[in-house]
Chain A
């Protein structure tokens, strides 16, 4: 099949970008979207041109590295599918396809279709963890977990941090990502001691990174390759509201504890 690609080319974060038109000729419908770009890049290199930069790693939909806004949809036309798992049979011969990077102030473009998602890392560092003693592995079933909670935690934990939620949100909000992490840890007993602080510090970091706010459009859930539900955002809000209301009490307790 033959396609016309409109690709966003941008040298680095400082320079302005622009769209460049490429012909992707003789593409097999069995190729993945990234393989199609590989083929195009090989031809560009042979011609002595700069290949199109795009992010990828596992190419099997589990690492979260890949991500292109394809024809106005993050990760392209197939639901619950990362860009690397999208195949050219989802397109028709002769299609004109627009390729854009995730667009958000918090995700500056590194080059072409690659953006810097370290804002997500900083949000995780702010509270997306549980404090556990290192050393010997804990006994597997020592802490009972309610089945329903374990399932919900697992659903949330499937988030691969690709950032499609931010890319698709009209407000460039990171709420779905942060909500997935807060739900994942908040549904488990190991996550309880730091649950309130986690909500406060992860939301504070999310705001500090310059993401927008959630207006419940639901675009994030629609493009999420793992189908993380927007209902988790309500869980994050509930934790944040509760943590804000009870902060004074925790500060007082901390004071009592140090006073002895």
Chain B
């Protein structure tokens, strides 16, 4: 579904991603783990069209089989193609209500029925959001804001859902709740690219995993393999 070949990201003189190559198959959960500053967000943001200085080849195969080269296209085109990003730090709109946030997430669509179906789907995944539908986003707790960010990213009805550190700053109990929902979304047939610092939780649910170190992909394998890998154990799972 997504082929990334020799992706390079430069910010002025900073070479944030170096010749990274990855492959994502339809229906998988793929995770990209690595330390802070390794280049995970830069990679995922390049796919979403948010990084101007990205070079390389990123090829996306849409549901109808059409192959599209992504780099250089604006973010709204990616959303239309079925790629959606829940950005790092949630970035929900604090002044708008939960429901208004969700409606904005469907900005690229005009099928009213589909939009309300996806809104109900989001509320079914996160019943707490439904209780707070008329509450301002800024008044939600951190965990609820993260749920809103995920539900909002689903409102464009993506084939490929990209999540940038959905567990950041969440209490452990909420982390497992959010990861359970990610699994659930995947079971419904959606492909997921999950960027995480919380390697243990991410590897447990991932079909495939990549390790990014200072801009280079240094390891790849199935989630289960990497969980057993001594290097990963030492560096990311605390020995």
A and B: real partners?
no
Residue ranges of A at the interface with B (Cβ–Cβ < 8 Å): none
